[in-house]
């Protein structure tokens, strides 16, 4: 299966990991804001 | 519409067609046409993936859904970031590293030709139909609002996209998508700002009014198989749907196959994960703000002008009586909404609670009158009268300043073009690679396959336009598209999951695929109330379970034989 292995292609995956951390942060902030919106304004 | 708005619409359409054709000048072979020679930067691929999903259905259907139903639809996308991460570490390295043109090509290497052909066929059927509904969504609305024939509306949206996709392939599609994404985001933000300026109460009061009607309720934690949009159906069913859509649907797979490396491919996928939930929430919030706007401005009783004309002609007295009650109800609701804002501004909690209850009562009265008018429209026209897709276009044309209305209409057409161009390109690729080159002519020159791809693009474009012309009575279009996809998506995902399991064999995969679709069909037929997001879970789990069972009973697969047997077809 080596032809399918990303590591074998010399990919460090650094950009992927960095982007992943940002993605998780953006989702957490968005969900928190939506939760805040719901709890603040929904009767 | 004001001539300046038309100048903006026509000017933008002409610009993107010329730009797409100009970008395609380097397309000389099949590798250029299908994968852009794997030369596209991750940010362009990411924006293109986003643009493909942001169809006109999002622009008019989702905003309309926000106005009528609030923000809870955003739960549908809760599984998307999770799916992107899973794909980034599993399927993307597999497919990109395999050096294939299509996702289905990989299935022949792993299993056999019939599994590849069946999944490719299911993709062609479901995508071609959904491509038709994606064109139909704005075409039907434009036809009703501007009084054009549906055929002309379909042609206006379909022909420019077919033209640059046919000539330029993925290169033109991707770079036009990038340009159109800028326009769409600018239009969405501009409409949001305009709404905030035009609503005569503070943003906080506006949100309180929306909240009083439940439109800001995002999270529903009830575990229900019959409720379409809940936290759990979005997270579990949505993850399966997104895994299948982004991992196995050629319209998405082809984008990241065109990236320079595995790292760029999966980073491009994460770009979608970044913005999907915030952008969808913003789009829904625009719908919610339009709802608030119409608390202070008289909204039409029926948003579909064609239905309004038909009912006025057929039942003038009955409609007139409803309009009188509607006008009185609107005055009462306007007064109640302003009372809520005053009580909140005064910081009086008791008065706020009392006025909010009074406002809710007046809003319920308005909803009841609207439902009666919709019933009347259905009786008169014989068509589904749900007018959720007309709310935003009517607001845009009646209340947005000159220029901005044109910008928004251009953005709706741009969104439709983005979605269909990506899909046409992938339909053409699958037709050429998985059927023509696999079954008709394995050896041909590069230019021959390029010509076949272009003809296939034109064919599917024409097919989608014909489907769109006939798909005029579809109700809420966004749900139709998603429901249709959910019938196959889970089962196709199941086959790709099997492909990553070493013990799974070809017979297990094929029988599993058939079983998965049968299970979804059975659920759909016997338990029609099971929400469609769960169909993806049922399909995928059935395929994996049946596929593994048969594979274990049949003995270990001969992977080497199956790979060497298909080498000619994939080289």
Residue B567 reports pLDDT greater than 70: no
Question: For residue B120, what pLDDT band results from cuts at 50, 70 and 90?
Answer: very high
The pLDDT, as a whole number, for residue B562 is 45
* Nearest-by-Cβ selection for B263 from A5, A11, A41: A11
For residue B40, the 8-state DSSP code is B
Portion of chain A with pLDDT greater than 90, in percent: 35
DSSP state of B438: I
- With H, G, I as helix, E, B as strand and everything else as coil, classify residue B559: helix
Nearest-10 crossing angle of helices B477-499, B533-554: 20
* Percent with pLDDT over 70 in chain B: 94
Residue of B nearest to A25 (CA): B274
Residue A2 pLDDT: 37
Q: How far is CA B345 from CA B342, B473, B528, in A?
A: 5, 45, 48
Instruction: Tell me the average pLDDT across B180-200.
Output: 90
Tell me, what's the pLDDT at B550? 92
Tell me which range, B24-38, B140-154, B540-554, is most confidently predicted by mean pLDDT: B540-554
Which of these, B257, B222, B5, B255, lies nearest to B106 by C-alpha position? Answer: B257
Nearest by CB to A6, which of B93, B210, B278? Answer: B93
Q: Is the model more confident about B262 or about B435? A: B435
Min mean pLDDT across B63-67, B178-182, B232-236, B469-473 is at B469-473
Q: Residue B97 and residue A6: Cβ atoms within 8 Å?
A: yes
Question: Cβ(B269)–Cβ(B196) under 8 Å?
Answer: no
The answer on pLDDT for A19 being more than 80 is yes
- Is the predicted pLDDT of residue A3 greater than 60, yes or no? no
Q: How confident is the model at residue B35 (pLDDT cuts 50, 70, 90)?
A: confident
Using CB atoms, pick whichever of B267, B281, B353 lies closest to residue A15: B267
- pLDDT value of position B557: 61
Name the CA dihedral angle for B51, B54, B57, B60, rounded to a multiple of 10 degrees: -110
Longest dimension (CA), chain A: 57
Q: pLDDT by residue (tens digit) across B279-288?
A: 899 999 999 9
- Percent of chain B, pLDDT > 90? 34
Establish, for the pair of chains A and B, how many residue pairs have beta carbons separated by less than 8 Å: 90
Interface residues of B toward A, Cβ cutoff 8 Å, are 42, 71, 74, 81, 84-85, 88, 93-94, 96-99, 207-208, 210-212, 214, 216-219, 261-264, 266-267, 270-271, 273-275, 277-278, 281, 353, 356, 360
User: Can you tell me the distance from the alpha carbon of A4 to that of B158, in angstroms, rounded to the nearest whole number?
Assistant: 38
Q: Which of B97, B217, B266 sits opposite A16 (nearest CB)?
A: B266
Residues in A touching B218 (Cβ below 8 Å): 34-35, 37-38
The answer to whether B218 contacts A41, with C-beta atoms less than 8 Å apart, is no
Q: How far, in Å, CA of B381 to CA of B571, rounded?
A: 56
Residue B568 has pLDDT above 70, yes or no: no
Q: A22 CA to chain B: closest CA distance, Å? A: 8
Rounded distance between C-alpha atoms, residue B307 and residue B329, angstroms: 22
**Residue A21 distance to chain B (closest CA, Å):** 10
Residue A38 to residue B214, Cβ atoms within 8 A:
no
Dihedral, B452, B457, B458, B463 alpha carbons, nearest 10? 120
Spatial separation of the C-alpha atoms in residues B541 and B498, rounded to whole Å: 10
Contacts of B281 in chain A (CB under 8 A): 30, 34
- What ranges make up the beta strands (E) of B11-166? none
Statement: residue B39 has pLDDT above 80: no
3-class secondary structure per residue, B130-148: HHHHHHHHHHHHHHHHHCC
Tokens encoding B66: 């926000």
pLDDT of res. A43: 63
Residue B141 in tokens: 């609305």
| Residue B483: per-residue pLDDT | 65
DSSP assigned state of B134: H
Q: What is the mean pLDDT of chain B?
A: 86
Of B21-25, B86-90, B368-372, the poorest mean pLDDT is in: B21-25
Among the ranges given (B71-80, B188-197, B413-422, B466-475), the one the predictor scored with the smallest mean pLDDT: B466-475
Query: CA distances (Å), B434 to each of B148, B156, B464, in order?
Result: 39, 31, 20
Residue in B85, B211, B264 closest to A41 by CB: B211
Q: Does A36 touch chain B (CB under 8 A)?
A: no
Q: What is the distance in angstroms between the Cα of B189 and the nearest Cα belonging to chain A? A: 17
More confident residue, B416 or B545: B545
* C-alpha to C-alpha distance for B103 and B94, rounded to whole angstroms: 10
Return d(Cα B561, Cα B6) in angstroms, integer.
60
């Amino acid at each position: 299966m080596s032809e399918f292995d990303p590591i074998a292609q010399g990919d460090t995956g650094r950009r992927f990991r960095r982007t992943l951390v940002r993605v998780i942060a953006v989702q957490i902030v968005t969900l928190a804001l939506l939760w805040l919106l719901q709890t603040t304004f929904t009767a | 519409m004001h001539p300046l708005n038309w100048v903006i619409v026509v000017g933008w359409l002409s610009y993107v067609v010329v730009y797409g054709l100009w970008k395609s000048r380097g397309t000389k072979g099949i590798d250029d046409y299908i994968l852009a020679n794997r030369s596209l930067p991750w940010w362009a691929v990411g924006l293109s993936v986003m643009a493909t999903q942001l169809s006109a259905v999002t622009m008019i259907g989702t905003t309309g859904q926000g106005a009528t139903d609030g923000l809870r639809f955003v739960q549908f996308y809760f599984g998307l970031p999770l799916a992107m991460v899973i794909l980034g570490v599993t399927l993307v390295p597999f497919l990109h590293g395999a050096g294939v043109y299509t996702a289905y090509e990989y299935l022949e290497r792993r299993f056999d030709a019939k599994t590849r052909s069946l999944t490719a066929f299911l993709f062609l059927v479901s995508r071609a139909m959904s491509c038709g509904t994606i064109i139909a969504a704005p075409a039907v609305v434009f036809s009703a609002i501007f009084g054009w024939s549906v055929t002309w509306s379909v042609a206006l949206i379909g022909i420019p996209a077919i033209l640059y996709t046919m000539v330029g392939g993925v290169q033109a599609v991707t770079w036009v998508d990038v340009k159109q994404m800028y326009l769409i985001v600018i239009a969405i933000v501009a409409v949001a700002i305009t709404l905030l300026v035009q609503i005569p109460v503070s943003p906080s009061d506006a949100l309180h009014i929306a909240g009083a009607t439940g439109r800001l309720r995002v999270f529903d934690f009830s575990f229900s198989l019959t409720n379409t949009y809940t936290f759990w159906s979005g997270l579990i069913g949505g993850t399966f749907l997104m895994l299948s859509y982004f991992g196995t649907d050629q319209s998405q797979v082809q984008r990241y196959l065109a990236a320079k490396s595995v790292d760029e491919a999966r980073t491009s996928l994460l770009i979608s994960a970044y913005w999907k939930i915030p952008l969808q929430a913003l789009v829904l919030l625009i719908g919610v703000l339009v709802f608030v706007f119409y608390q202070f401005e008289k909204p039409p009783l029926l948003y579909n002008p064609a239905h309004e004309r038909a009912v006025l002609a057929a039942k003038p007295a009955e409609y007139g009586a409803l309009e009188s009650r509607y006008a009185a109800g609107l005055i009462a609701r306007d007064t109640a909404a302003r009372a809520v804002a005053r009580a909140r501004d005064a910081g009086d909690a008791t008065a706020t609670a009392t006025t909010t209850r009074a406002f809710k009562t007046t809003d319920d009265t308005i909803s009841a009158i609207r439902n009666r008018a919709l019933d009347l429209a259905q009786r008169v026209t014989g068509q589904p009268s749900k007018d959720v897709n007309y709310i935003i276009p009517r607001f845009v044309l009646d209340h947005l300043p000159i220029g901005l209305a044109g910008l928004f209409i251009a953005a709706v057409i741009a969104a439709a073009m983005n979605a269909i161009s990506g899909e046409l390109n992938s339909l053409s690729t699958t037709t050429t690679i998985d059927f023509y080159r696999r079954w008709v002519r394995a050896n041909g020159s590069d230019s021959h396959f390029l010509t076949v791809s272009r003809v296939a693009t034109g064919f599917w474009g024409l097919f989608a336009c014909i489907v769109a012309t006939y798909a005029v009575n579809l109700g809420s279009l966004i749900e139709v598209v998603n429901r249709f996809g959910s019938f196959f998506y889970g089962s196709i995902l199941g086959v790709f999951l099997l492909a990553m399991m070493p013990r799974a064999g070809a017979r297990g995969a094929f029988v599993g695929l058939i079983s998965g679709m049968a299970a979804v069909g059975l659920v759909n037929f016997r338990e029609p109330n099971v929400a469609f997001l769960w169909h993806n879970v049922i399909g995928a789990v059935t395929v994996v379970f049946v596929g593994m069972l048969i594979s274990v009973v049949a003995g270990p697969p001969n992977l080497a034989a199956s790979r060497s047997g298909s080498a000619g077809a994939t080289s």
